[in-house]
Amino acid sequence: MAQVTKEKCLQEDREMDDIVSSEDDGTSALQYRIDESPPFHITLFISLQHLMIAFASTLTLTSIIGDVLCAKTDDPLRSKLFSTALCMSGLNTILQSILGSRLPVFQGPSFTFITPLIALGTDPSWSCSSGSDDTDTLISNANMTNIAGLEKLTATEKLQQMSGSLMAASAIEVVIGGLGLVGPLMRFAGPITVAPIITLIGLSLYRIPVDYSRPCPPMAAASALLVLLFSLYLQRIMIPIGCGKRKTRLPIFQVLPVLLSIGLTWTVAAILTTCGVFTDDPASLGYKARTDAKAGIVNATPWLLATYPGQFGMPSFNVAAFVGFSAAVLSSVIESVGDYLAAARSCDVPIPPQHAVSRGIMMEGLGSVLGGGYGAAHATSTYSGNIALLSLCRTASRSVLVTAGIILIAVSFVGKVAAAFSTVPEPILGGIFLVILGILVALGIATLKHTDLHSTRNLIIIGVSIFVGLAIPDWIARFPDCIDTGDIQADQALRVTLGTPMILGGIVGCFLDNTVPGTIRERGLHEWTAARLTKADSSDSLESAILEQAQLEQKTYGWRRFVGLRRKCRLFRLLPFLPPYGTMVQSWSSCTREEMIDT
């Protein structure tokens, strides 16, 4: 009996080694790859993890929109905005995963629009009356000038102007993606360009876990430690699922670390709230650690909420909003390209080719135009935190994100359920974001693994790119009056551009990497293209490697059902956002054999 038990344990260890320890043989450490579908219950649980991460961000941005509209805390308009945001996020996530870039990326309200939204709130015609109940909003009343005799806009009028301006600005993103204007830029984006972008995405969001953890740091620390415990120390433990012949053993702790952490800490927080450990004073900071701190949102939200186009009236136009949103759109495009590259790394697939990037950007633009028509008043873009979750859970299945999108759409119509998901105490989410954003920063650093990190050239470019991306936005935040061109709209556009770390780091890194002399191997482009060739490689080996890589890209990013249409109609072969005709990928044909093997 002891011998049988020992052999069984050894067999389980070998099975787990095949799953979680695969770096030695170069295979993927993913539990479920991008084109694989986990069992339904696993798919459901992982989808809930993605939703838990996204709900807090969605609620935060819609709260800022409510503040700009001068809506009271218990105004039903806030609940309607939240449900509309959930519906648009779910719809765009499905479209992006199936028709867009075809990467398992979550689409949610874009945080690049926070700056123009707050700037709009400081306009005299958009300012809130001094008697309104908005003293705790993110839009400071101190920056709002109450001019006598000035006609104030109602909340509905503001929302209509924001929606119309968003649709016009998002049309620019559709054009950029539809014409393939992003694709050519990808030829200049090597590891040294991409690494600062991905790294700065995570570093620029460091205030989120800090602010969320303030009400109760021990609770935040507990949620973060539980995620680390489940994903690192307990990852090899197999839990039996089912019964009888259908009984299987799955690494639950490895696949569901976030959901388990939230569930346990939420339960403990509920017990502490019931026992009166946390203060019941709403004005106190510690009040946000209570599980009933956001109960008012649930009470103010009806059971059923219908989301439909034009629900807030016909969209109108505002020049200032359009200029600010346009700058935010350009920022979102660059951020999304970095997110696609990070997602590809997390999914262990080739970097997205030009047509996939163009299609993804175009789909984000179409989703934002659609959101403006529904009155969402915000664009949708890829959520970086959910990309890091792909690596944490080792599940890159496209079907998981599609399921999450379906759940979001369903939840958006059941108002109280949507509101209930948003009541997770902020300290719990702060601890989760601490781990998630840390993984995102690590993904950016890992992009440099094929570059020569002993090269002074590379070290200078990487260091300067990241430091510029951190220093200048902080300077803009500390001294906003330093930008004064005499034109309010130009000032607004410059503040958004110079205040976005990803834009600055990406531009500096791209410029220096493409202008400072350096070999292909030194820059990491040799391995970046995944050819992995040496000078001794024959021409046949090169062609075979390129063909194999092209076929893998076609499987990941291609549209199989459009193959027949491309053969019958030449027009489809010319569209830059569709996969190229044949098996050769355009981005691969741009490199000659001499460039590929240059040292």
Confidence of residue 542 (pLDDT cuts 50, 70, 90): low
Length of the chain measured in residues = 599
73 vs 4, higher pLDDT: 73
Contact between 103 and 340 under an 8 Å Cβ cutoff? The reply is yes
Q: Is 214 exposed, middle or buried (0-12, 13-18, 19+ CB in 10 A)?
A: middle
Considering the entire predicted model, what is its pTM? 0.73
User: Within a 10 A sphere around the Cβ of 428, how many other Cβ atoms?
Assistant: 30
The pLDDT of residue 269 is: 94
Residue 305 sits at φ, ψ, to 5 deg, of -130, 120
Mind spelling out the 3-state secondary structure of 254-283? HHCHHHHHHHHHHHHHHHHHHCCCCCCCCC
- The per-residue pLDDT for 193 is 86
Task: Read off the pLDDT of each residue in 421-439 and give the average, rounded to a whole number.
Answer: 84
Q: Where are the domains of the chain?
A: 55-128+154-520, 538-596
Q: Is the pLDDT of residue 90 over 80?
A: yes
Lowest model confidence (mean pLDDT) among 150-164, 203-217, 468-482: 150-164
Q: pLDDT (tens digit, 9 = 90+) per residue, 261-309? A: 988 999 999 999 999 899 888 888 889 899 888 787 787 778 888 888 8
Structure tokens of 496? 């958004």
